[in-house]
Amino acid sequence: MTKPEVLFFDVLGTVVDWRGSIAAEVSSFLARNNAAHIDAGALADAWVGRYDSSVEPIRRGLQSFATLDVVNLSNLEGTLEEFGLKISELPHAELVHLNQAWHRLKPWPDSVKGISNMKERFVVAPLSDGHTRLLVNMAKHGGLPWDTVIGADISRTYKPMPQAYLRACEVLGVKPHNAMLIAAHDYDLRAARECGFKTALVVRENARDPSKTGEPASNEDWDFSVGNLIELANILLAA
């Protein structure tokens, strides 16, 4: 295999623990707003459960691009109502603060070191549904050492549309066959491979996306399959 020049990383689930981070912030939000009886993990799952269908019209070109800040806030409002809370009675600043939790997601324990090691040899960048500012804030918060950040606001679509992958390559001046996607989700790797990318699966506990049901277990032949990003760095740097 020829060596890739650029390593692109899925972020939500692959680099950061979205579920642990969001459930913790939901929990403290519920406690502050007299709703500690609600299950924070269930509310977090229900919130993210609305994601996929809410961005589908953007993928299909039926709606103009909107950032995760916009999509997530709308889904949060619907989810809180579903769980019996009245949006009109909650302080707006509380909703905005909880929605901004997506800018503060915590890296998995191996992420900063793994990406730092890969950065010595390769260009490292996120390839995420997050927009540029969200990903920049998250990187500053968690110490993620990206070489650059190209958010979904640059391609103005969402994965797994080919344009999301191809536009990222275009901005970094790299051919898809000289790029690799590193991700914890098969649908993402499959779409990247269709575009010509090399692929590396990171097997993560707790990275399941509740908005994508019926995802089959990974048994495909990705270029690499690893347990964490330090392991991948060791393999790529030794190759």
Residues that bind a second copy (CB under 8 A): 67, 119, 123, 131-133, 135-136, 139-140, 146-151, 153-154, 171-174
Whole-angstrom CA distances from 104 to 6, 30, 99, 230 are 25, 18, 10, 22
Q: CB of 6 within 8 A of CB of 178?
A: yes
- Return the axis-axis angle of helices 229-238 and 111-119, rounded to nearest 10°: 20
| Smallest separation (angstroms) from a second copy to the CB of 132 | 5
Nearer to a second copy, 28 or 100 (CB): 100
Nearer to a second copy, 100 or 225 (CB): 100
| Smallest separation (angstroms) from a second copy to the CB of 12 | 18
CA–CA distance, 122 with 114 (Å, rounded to integer): 12
What are the backbone dihedrals phi and psi of residue 40, each rounded to the nearest 5 degrees, phi first? -65, -40
Q: The tokens 């406690």 sit on which residue? A: 31
Q: The tokens 């790797």 sit on which residue? A: 189
Nearer to a second copy, 85 or 127 (CB): 127
Nearer to a second copy, 59 or 141 (CB): 141
Q: Is 137 exposed, middle or buried (0-12, 13-18, 19+ CB in 10 A)?
A: middle
Nearer to a second copy, 71 or 149 (CB): 149
Nearer to a second copy, 149 or 232 (CB): 149
| Smallest separation (angstroms) from a second copy to the CB of 121 | 10
Whole-angstrom CA distances from 132 to 21, 127, 135, 230 are 20, 10, 5, 25
Instruction: Put the strands of the sheet holding 179-183 in their side by side order.
Output: 123-126, 6-9, 179-183, 198-202, 224-226
- Return the axis-axis angle of helices 68-82 and 40-49, rounded to nearest 10°: 130
| Smallest separation (angstroms) from a second copy to the CB of 153 | 7
Nearer to a second copy, 70 or 203 (CB): 70
| Smallest separation (angstroms) from a second copy to the CB of 117 | 14
| Smallest separation (angstroms) from a second copy to the CB of 150 | 8
Q: CB of 47 within 8 A of CB of 209?
A: no
